[in-house]
Structure 1
């Protein structure tokens, strides 16, 4: 696995949300680098806490924004967000038990986030009203 590099194709066309997505990538990359350097769990966990906190902040912001744009279906989106939050918690607990974070878990985070940004987020946009 390599670091998650932002690509223009990931942009959903809303600057605030795109900036937040980039921040999520940055935090994930910090975790990846720490893992690659075989950093101690005491180094990785604060980064993981940052990812959890920022993910919750971003999802809340995104849900509020999408609620104003969408006619429905936001509950499904919220459910997907909750799934990711729950998975982050499971990964954190597992990492604490084993003393490190596995690359397999980082793959999951990367794949889920990229797929979510590219496939799920655009479903809630009214492209006629994006500036």
Structure 2
């Protein structure tokens, strides 16, 4: 069962960002299912690497848009991205080293962070981009 399902309330009204957010939530849901199902380390590691790679790609997309349109909140937004990437890197390293974090203690930080980031920072970015004619 998904921990979070995409809904229009998550939309930032910029197609490329919304599409990537949906993919990210799918990976988070798959990761949640794997953790709750006590999947092997290799499965968790692959899902975390997928999430990490997808997140890096997504952040690069946002970064390019923020630079292209001179987003005034760029530095703060970039800092939030770097914090999550550090967290994801730590999770990948932990699982690679054989640790088995539980969803509630570690992975929920990723899903909670994603939702908080979407509702606050990405909505602000979406509004800014929409005012620049980007949808």
TM-score above 0.5: yes
Residue in structure 1 matched with residue 130 of structure 2 by the alignment: 127
Match of 2:87 in 1: 87
Say if 1:95 and 1:102, in contact at 8 Å, map to a contact too: no
Number of aligned positions between the proteins = 131
Question: In the alignment, what sits opposite 1:28?
Answer: 28
When the two chains are superposed, the root-mean-square deviation of aligned CA atoms in Å is 1.8
Instruction: Provide the C-alpha distance between the structure 1 equivalents of 2:129 and 2:37, rounded to a whole number of angstroms.
Output: 43
Map 1:1-131; keep pairs closer than 5 Å.
Answer: 3-103=3-103, 104-124=105-125, 125-128=128-131, 129-131=133-135
Deviation at 1:98, TM superposition (A): 5.0
Cα deviation, 1:82-124, whole Å, max 9, x if unaligned, reads 1100011112223334532311212111110001011011223
Give TM-score scaled by structure 1 length.
0.89
Q: Which moved more, 1:109-118 or 1:97-106?
A: 97-106
> Hey, what's the Cα distance between the residues in 2 that align with 1:126 and 1:107?
29
Q: 1:71 to 1:29 in 2, by over 3 A?
A: closer
For structure 2, which runs of at least 5 residues remain unmatched after alignment? none
CA distance in 1, matches of 2:63, 2:130: 17
Tell me which stretches of 4 or more aligned residues in structure 1 moved more than 6 Å: none
Q: Using the alignment, how far apart are the partners of 1:101 and 1:41 within structure 2?
A: 10
